[in-house]
Structure 1
Amino acid sequence: MKLLVHGAGVCGSLLAAQLHEAGADVSLLARGRRLESLRRHGVRLAEEDSPVVRQVPVPVVEHAADGYDLAAVTVRTHQVDAVLESLAGFGGDVLFLHNWAAGAQPLEEVVGRGRVLLGFPAVGGTMDGDVVRHRASNPVTDRVAMPIGEPDGRTTPRLERIVRVFRAAGVTTKAEPRMDAWLKTHAAFSVPLGRAAYTAGGPAALAEDSDAVRAMLRLMRQNLAALPTPPVPRPFGALDKVPEGVLVPLLRRFLRSRTAVRSGLSDTSPATAAELDRLAGQLRALTQAG
């Protein structure tokens, strides 16, 4: 399978590097300064605060030319429209790996009906200049599988093939039959969480404001209740059953944790605000329609 990773930020760079090191036929699409950096140095990776930087010579391209079997799109939600324009003549299947609550239809209108798959990346980190700083290997968290699925929930031969290719490269992956509902559930809690952390200046600061955490939790509950389908995974339904007095301290403890502080919740860049705004708009349209 010839693969194209469309998007050279944290998720795309990590995914392309892992696929390349496993021997997969993969190219990474980038533009501008990021493209020039990748051409000179390859994908530069470092574990968290480690001074050791290694270089992975992933092939890079500037355009989504034909000849690829699959493109994995790893850009932010508000950047998808621009990517869709570049994929208008793309001949392969397209796996969208990012926050997305609008369903497959607007993607299929450009890419083509039956050629879209949905998913969510299971990797994370931050950009430090042109170095991708990622979490150190962990035998527990590394078992968290990247969910991917067909928009209609079927288990198709192409889905099974993609899962096999990713797993063979060491990317823990699973077929998720309710992928569209999974993404909408994720948006229902990630928009209040992301906006609250952004407003506070990061997760640690948010943790110190119990009223803000309580307001965030109530928005999560409202969003989940307004979804047209039950939450996926099912345990998210418990957010409406566990008392606030129990959940608020748990959320504050999470927000103070190393995991939260080193996550994308600490990113207060304009790009984060733009992504949250786009995702919130999708969620609003979804809940109003329901």
Structure 2
Amino acid sequence: MKLLVYGAGVLGSRFAARLYEAGLDVSLLARGERMDSLRRHGVQLAEENSTVIKRIPVPVREHPAGGYDLIVVLVRTHQVDAVLESLAGLEGDVLFLHNWAAGPEPLGAVIGHERVLLGFPADGGTMDGDVVRYRATNFMTRRVAMPIGEPDGRTTPRLERIVEAFRTAGVNAKAEPKMDAWLKTHAAFEVPLGQAVHTAGGPAALADDPDAVRDMLRLMRQNLAAMPAPPVPRGFAALRTLPEGLLVATLRRFLRSPTAVHSGLSDASPATTAELARLAEQIRAHTKVR
């Protein structure tokens, strides 16, 4: 299987490096200074605060030309439109691994509906100069598998091949029959959470304001109630059914936890702000929220 990873940020770099180390035929698409750094040093990886830097010589491409069996897109939500234009003339299936609440239709309308697969990387990290820093527990080792699915929910031979290839490479992937609903559920939860954290000035600051946490929870409930399908995973339905006081207390504990600190919630960069805004637009447009 010949693969192209489109996007050389934290997730794309990590993903491409892991596939390359596993012996897969993979290239990483990058441009500008990031491309120059990757060509000189390879993908540079380090665990959290470690001084040990590992360099992986993943082949780098500036343009997505060539024949690929699978193109894996790992970019932010607001960058997808520009990516679609460059993929329209290429061959090969395309796996979109990122936040996305608009459904598969706008993706397929540009590149062909038969090429689209959906997924979510469920990983995190930070960029320290040209070094990607990541947690020891990530999407490759975590118990919760990285979901991948066909837009229509079928378990197709190509989906099985992709999941098996990722598993063989050490990536904990699984076929998810309700991937579109999974992504919409995640956005319904993440947008209020991310925007509330940024407004408060960080997870801990939000935890110290129970009224703000309560307002955030109510937005989550509104989003979930407006979804055209039940939440996936089903556990998110608890956000609509459990008592508000219990949920507020639980969310405040989460916001003070190491998981919240290391999850990237504190990232208030323009890119994160733009992504949350685009996701909010998608939620309004593709649910009953008005």
TM-score (norm 1): 0.97
Q: Distance in 2 between matches of 1:103 and 1:140?
A: 26
Aligned twin of 1:145: 145
- Asked if structure 1 preserves the Cα contact closer than 8 Å seen for 2:122 and 2:139, the reply is no
Structure 1 position 151, deviation (Å): 0.2
Aligned twin of 1:178: 178
2:147 counterpart SS class: strand
Aligned twin of 1:41: 41
Return the letter of the residue paired with 1:251.
Answer: L
1:65 counterpart SS class: coil
Q: Distance in 1 between matches of 2:130 and 2:200?
A: 27
1:229 counterpart SS class: coil
Listed one character per residue, the Cα deviations across residues 134-158 of structure 1 (whole Å, up to 9, x for unaligned) are 0014799622211000000000000
- Asked if structure 1 preserves the Cα contact closer than 8 Å seen for 2:139 and 2:172, the reply is no
Instruction: Report the CA distance shift for 1:22/1:130 in structure 2 as closer, same or farther (over 3 A).
Output: same
Matches within 5 A, 1:249-268: 249-268=249-268
Return the letter of the residue paired with 1:226.
Answer: A
Aligned twin of 1:281: 281
Q: Distance in 2 between matches of 1:259 and 1:35?
A: 31
Q: Distance in 2 between matches of 1:246 and 1:51?
A: 42
- Asked if structure 2 preserves the Cα contact closer than 8 Å seen for 1:116 and 1:150, the reply is yes
Matches within 5 A, 1:208-223: 208-223=208-223
Matches within 5 A, 1:127-206: 127-137=127-137, 142-206=142-206
Return the letter of the residue paired with 1:127.
Answer: M
- Asked if structure 2 preserves the Cα contact closer than 8 Å seen for 1:188 and 1:220, the reply is yes
TM-score (norm 2): 0.97
1:171 counterpart SS class: coil
Q: Distance in 2 between matches of 1:122 and 1:152?
A: 21
Q: Distance in 2 between matches of 1:122 and 1:249?
A: 25
Q: Distance in 1 between matches of 2:199 and 2:90?
A: 39
- Asked if structure 1 preserves the Cα contact closer than 8 Å seen for 2:141 and 2:171, the reply is no
Return the letter of the residue paired with 2:154.
Answer: R
- Asked if structure 1 preserves the Cα contact closer than 8 Å seen for 2:93 and 2:116, the reply is yes
Q: Distance in 1 between matches of 2:41 and 2:141?
A: 29
Listed one character per residue, the Cα deviations across residues 88-127 of structure 1 (whole Å, up to 9, x for unaligned) are 1110000000000001110011111211000000221111
- Asked if structure 1 preserves the Cα contact closer than 8 Å seen for 2:68 and 2:92, the reply is yes
- Asked if structure 2 preserves the Cα contact closer than 8 Å seen for 1:66 and 1:92, the reply is no
Structure 1 position 244, deviation (Å): 1.4
1:265 counterpart SS class: coil
What 5-or-longer segments of structure 2 have no aligned partner?
none
Structure 1 position 287, deviation (Å): 1.8
1:249 counterpart SS class: helix
Aligned twin of 2:124: 124
More deviation, 82-91/70-79: 82-91
- Asked if structure 2 preserves the Cα contact closer than 8 Å seen for 1:99 and 1:279, the reply is yes
Listed one character per residue, the Cα deviations across residues 51-78 of structure 1 (whole Å, up to 9, x for unaligned) are 1111111111011112110000000000
Are 1:3 and 2:3 an aligned pair?
yes
- Asked if structure 2 preserves the Cα contact closer than 8 Å seen for 1:14 and 1:123, the reply is no
Q: Distance in 2 between matches of 1:229 and 1:241?
A: 16
Q: Distance in 1 between matches of 2:58 and 2:5?
A: 11
Return the letter of the residue paired with 1:71.
Answer: I
- Asked if structure 1 preserves the Cα contact closer than 8 Å seen for 2:227 and 2:288, the reply is no
Aligned twin of 1:233: 233
2:242 counterpart SS class: coil
Return the letter of the residue paired with 2:12.
Answer: G
Aligned twin of 1:22: 22
Aligned twin of 1:91: 91
> What value does the CA root-mean-square deviation take over the aligned residues?
1.5
Aligned length: 290
